[in-house]
Amino acid sequence: MLFTTIPAFTFLLTSLATLSAAAPTLDVRQVNARSWSEPEEKYYHAVGDRVARFVRTANFPAPPACNIENAPMNRGALPPPSPGLVLSHVVVGRGTQNFTCDTTNASAIPVQVGAVATLFNSSCIAGLYPELLSLMPPVAIRHAKPADADGLAPSNLWLSGHHFFTAGGVPFFSLNSRNGDYGQVGCKKDGATPAPDPKNVPWLKMSTAHLDGIEATYSEVYRLNTVGGQPPETCAGQKDHIEVEYAAEYWFWKSK
């Protein structure tokens, strides 16, 4: 599916502006004197490299086309998408994994009751700059959760929609915002694999869950490249409701 080229071009320009604000030149070796975290340092190195290559192209400043059907998806050990599906949308989610605790029992284990996240359009980034997409969740988790009116720091990605759980406990994705209507889907878990770092929530493959009155746009959704989201091991010293911040990539697949 062909997407507008503007978000990807805006992404590079915004990242470039952020990098420029950090130092008078684009020499990232000079910028490294700042107290950046390792994820931020990797991110800005990659941005600087991509910008340098982009401005050397013959058609600069015209942005490149953005077809994501063949975007590389690192699914780890999860099963592949089902036959007959095509990649349609990619977002970076930033929010919280939510849990309850029995505060009368210090040895009790937190129980997950849902998640809430704001979703930001990363489709063109997945298609054009996959190495940058993989760096975004580790950087996003280090910035405050954005309001709907804000883009996702540090690159100001455009809002795609929201992720939440229904009253019946179904994970739901509403990809509808002022920037466009990309559909909706309720999900059920089809597969899970531990994240490479156990401090991060597992990677998931999800399929459509039937919800009365809801026509699902997508057939399968992947949660990948997670950062954060794991609860404490026990409820000792915890409140009865725990929100653990996380970031992740979500990949949406639908029928051709």
Q: What is the 3-state secondary structure (H, E, C) of 43-102?
A: HHHHHHHHHHHHHCCCCCCCCCCCECCCCCCCCCCCCCCCCCEEEEEEEEEEEEEEEECC
Check: CB of residue 65 under 8 Å from CB of residue 91.
no
Residues 91 and 51 in one domain: no
Residues 238 and 120 in one domain: yes
Residue 103 has phi, psi (to 5 degrees) of -75, -10
Domain count, the chain: 2
What whole-number distance in Å separates Cα of residue 177 and Cα of residue 193? 31
Distances (CA, A) of 160 to 88, 163, 238: 13, 10, 33
Residues 203 and 158 in one domain: yes
Q: Quick check: is 65 in a domain?
A: no
Q: Quick check: is 79 in a domain?
A: no
Residues 112 and 236 in one domain: yes
- Helix (H) or strand (E) holding 19, with range, is helix 6-22
pLDDT for position 149: 59
Residues 37 and 89 in one domain: no
Residues 107 and 218 in one domain: yes
pLDDT for position 131: 87
Residues 159 and 250 in one domain: yes
Show pLDDT as tens, one digit a residue, over the chain (256 residues): 434 434 444 444 444 334 333 333 333 333 343 454 666 555 545 554 554 454 444 544 444 557 898 999 999 999 999 999 999 999 999 999 999 999 999 999 999 999 999 999 999 899 988 888 999 999 999 888 877 656 676 666 889 999 999 999 999 999 999 888 999 999 999 999 999 999 999 999 999 999 999 999 999 999 999 999 999 999 999 999 999 999 999 999 999 8
Q: Quick check: is 60 in a domain?
A: no
Residues 216 and 102 in one domain: yes
Residues 139 and 49 in one domain: no
Residues 51 and 90 in one domain: no
pLDDT for position 50: 52
Residues 48 and 101 in one domain: no
Domain that holds residue 44: 6-55
Q: Quick check: is 76 in a domain?
A: no
Q: Quick check: is 74 in a domain?
A: no
Residues 162 and 217 in one domain: yes
Check: CB of residue 184 under 8 Å from CB of residue 190.
no
Q: Quick check: is 188 in a domain?
A: yes
